[in-house]
Amino acid sequence: MAGVYGLIRTGIYTFRRVFIAEPLFKGYCTSYGRNLRTGVFVHFVQGTGVLELGDDVTVDGKSSFLFASRFSERPTLKIGDRTGIGHACMFTVGKRIDIGEDCRIAGNVWMFDSPGHPSDPAARLTGAPPDPDQVRPITIGRNVWIGGHSIIFPGVTIGEGSVVAAGSVVTADVAAGVVVAGNPARRIAALGPQAAVTPRPASQSIPDTSGLQTGGPIGG
């Protein structure tokens, strides 16, 4: 009986992914490459912006993509080849967020390039938007691993090959090839020289985001 149930569930999930979730998400994309893959849930996209995805990108689970066109005519989120996005991530884009190739973004990561509200109390009372100079693009370098429940603040650049430990609050730039952790995130270790990333064959190129959500010593 359990085997029959498993087959039925797999069939339903496959149908939902292939015929509902993936086509709807592709419809939101300005452009996407080969082998774009989602989970069985429909991602939430709000506002008008540019959503560009490279080849072999996985956007798993159910994530949110929020575009605020008040700060830019074309707020842009770009995700590079072979990058995997875990469940329940949120991207708030006022101007631009760039995520490089071969990145691993674990579940419940939040990136926002706009604070949403002004820091000045009087301005907040009037419902004013944040100052334009507070809206600053985010850049995530190639082969970066961001652990679950981390928060990436406006204006942050994370260098190639670095690791952000789970639960970190990144308010300042992160150098290439280091590990950061904490609130606010601070460097806790240096990594070895970065090896060149050899693109995987297409049959092996879909990132496995399940481990990003639950496993690994970094916690994401």
User: Can you count the helices (H) and strands (E) in the chain?
Assistant: 4, 20
Task: Kindly state the tokens that stand for 115.
Answer: 């604070």
117 is catalytic: yes
Contact 220, 150 (CB under 8 A): yes
Contact 106, 84 (CB under 8 A): no
| Catalytic position from the list 43, 87, 117, 149 | 117
How far apart are alpha carbons 111 and 29 in whole angstroms? 19
Torsion of CA 68, 133, 116, 157, to 10 degrees: 80
Contact 144, 79 (CB under 8 A): no
Contact 107, 89 (CB under 8 A): yes
Q: What is the length of the chain?
A: 220
Contact 174, 157 (CB under 8 A): yes
Neighbours of 157 (CB within 10 A): 17
Q: How many CA atoms lie within 13 A of 84 on its CB side?
A: 22
Among all residues, which ones are annotated catalytic? 117
